[in-house]
Amino acid sequence: MRAYYFDNEPTDQRLPHDYDPSRPVDVETLGKIGVLYWKVPVEGYLPEIDAIAAKRNYKNRDTINVTKEGLGDQYEAKIKSFFEEHMHEDEEIRYILSGSGYFDVREHPKDQWVRIAVAPGDLLVLPAGIYHRFTLDTENKIQALRLFKDEPKWTPLNRSSETDGNTHRIDYRGYHI
């Protein structure tokens, strides 16, 4: 995992979008905005993932393949929807099994994008209420284990004045100021 401030240049979203020189963001700063991170080697990962899941009450899981082959006719629409700025009313938990991509999160209260480059072995937890988005990198493929506290669901709430008033967003802002 490597995190840094996103340069906001209007080019391909799959490019690194890093400043030159880079403006890195450390794990401690991510923690202040509620983003949690673990490095869990993919080989033999199951016992450690199971332990983290038990400790954090993640009861369900599934695997997603974000590739043209894995998503078929839905590929373009899914890639577009993943990159729309949104929040969830639940944590978003992803453990990267193969491939790579980027999670962009809004640093609160500055509202700047922080880009988090993820690769195999990275476990990322985004808190409920944080504005974020996801994109593949130029390799165009990622396989991730998704963990859930309850039944698997992925309901994005795109950023708007309505989501700004969502109780999960308000709770997030109140906690991460």
* Numbered residues of the known binding site for Ni(2+): 86, 88, 92, 132
Residue 6, helix vs strand vs coil = strand
> Per DSSP, what are the bridge partners of residue 142?
66, 99
- Pairing between β-strand 92-99 and β-strand 142-148 as defined by DSSP bridges: antiparallel
Return the sign of the alpha-carbon dihedral for residues 109, 170, 168, 51: positive
Could you tell me if 76 and 82 are in contact, meaning their C-beta atoms sit under 8 angstroms apart? no
Could you tell me if 101 and 134 are in contact, meaning their C-beta atoms sit under 8 angstroms apart? yes
Binding positions for Fe(2+) are 86, 88, 92, 132
Q: Which two tokens stand for residue 141?
A: 């493929």
Could you tell me if 97 and 83 are in contact, meaning their C-beta atoms sit under 8 angstroms apart? no
| 49-77 b/e (C-beta count within 10 Å ≥ 16 → b) | beebbeeeebeeeeebebbeeeeeeeeee
